[in-house]
Amino acid sequence: MAMAPSSSLFTYSFKEGMCSPETKTSNKNLICNYANLTRKKLGCSGTIYLRHPRFFHSENSPKVEHRERESNRNGILCRALKTKNPPSFTVGKTFQLDDIIEAQQFDRDILNAIFEVARDMEKIEKNSSGSQILKGYLMATLFYEPSTRTRLSFESAMKRLGGEVLTTENAREFSSAAKGETLEDTVRTVEGYSDIIVMRHFECGAAKRAAATAGIPIINAGDGPGQHPTQALLDVYTIEREIGKLDGIKVGLVGDLANGRTVRSLAYLLAKYKDVKIYFVSPDVVKMKDDIKDYLTSMGVEWEESADLMDVANKCDVVYQTRIQRERFGERTDLYEEARGKYIVDSRVLEVMPKHAVVMHPLPRLDEITVDVDADPRAAYFRQAKNGLYIRMALLKLLLLGW
């Protein structure tokens, strides 16, 4: 029987003045589910995500050694460590991740490096001759839920880098899933036709199941009310470009926070930065779930719930609005109507926002941002959508070719 593939997360912790390593291992069926490895549980001051081989550990897997030399500085005894094959962002090196499944996979170093590649992709996109670096590669898009921006931006990203696309726009209805085929069987089949799969699914955790099955990279393009990691990446990239920093910012997350996979993933990424404060503004029926609040608390991130959008908008660098998702309410249309229209970004909100602040939205919008806001330079949501192209170009390049 084949061994279960595994991945490693290397962590440092300070205990009684001694800097020491700890190693945790997780089965790939639970790949990237690192929310339990928090400062609260392990007492860690930081984490470094090392590459997880897709199948088995080998001689090239990350290894850690103690150096015998120790130093005592400022009364704190630290043991020097060296790593074999540490994470490398050198051109030509393999990307640290095999799949993009959830936001917890990323640390600040990887985020910064991805953003550098995204800036290079922006230059390629603006060059009319484009690029052929992914010529000969095929990307399959398996979308079991509707999408405009995510699917088209991934397909555009692939084509702008010289690759080709196989697409299923409504796999839930127009694929063998309608005949009862399992997700695992679909993934095993489609990986035989392509080099990378971008998948959106209506079930939380579906992307992890696909990654545990596939031998090629899987990108989670949204799994029900779970996560949307590539949206979070482009959101953080947009905040950095618009505000000029990520440390020390205040972000207001507004709207459907219970069902919104975008705000969940964004909260995970914002926790990577220093002195961030997050405000949750939502109707009672769609408040942010406790798992995110607990995670932020464990990471030392300050958060606050508020019912006053005007007050929050006055304090924030970013007002991140989301729509109330009718499709998540099922037959409880009464709860949907109760939540809809309670918090709207309009000209009155703009009046109290700081001049440097921005309004963001993952789109599509309904009536939660009025159309007149579009003309204000602080309306960043269409620039945000365009940034998704550059981030997704970067991810395709990194997963298929490396740094």
Task: Give catalytic residues, as residue numbers.
Answer: 149-150, 179, 200, 228
Decide if 185 contacts 157 (C-beta within 8 A): no
User: Residue 318: what are its φ and ψ, rounded to 5°?
Assistant: -135, 125
Write b or e for each residue in 33-50: b if 16 or more Cβ atoms lie within 10 A of its Cβ, otherwise e: bbbebbbeebebeebbbb
Type of residue found at 226: G
> In 286-380, which residue ranges form alpha helices assigned H by DSSP?
290-298, 309-315, 333-339, 347-352
Of 228, 231, 230, the residue nearest 201 (C-alpha): 228
Cα separation, 39 vs 47, in Å, equals 9
d(CA 303, CA 310): 17
Task: Please say whether the beta carbons of 260 and 226 come within 8 A.
Answer: no
DSSP 95: P
* Residues 312, 254: Cα–Cα separation, whole Å: 10
Half-sphere exposure at residue 298, Cβ-oriented, CA atoms within 13 angstroms: 20
Cα–Cα dist 87/64, whole Å: 12
Q: State how far the Cα of 28 lies from the Cα of 317, in Å rounded to an integer.
A: 38
Half-sphere exposure of 210 (CA within 13 A, CB side): 33
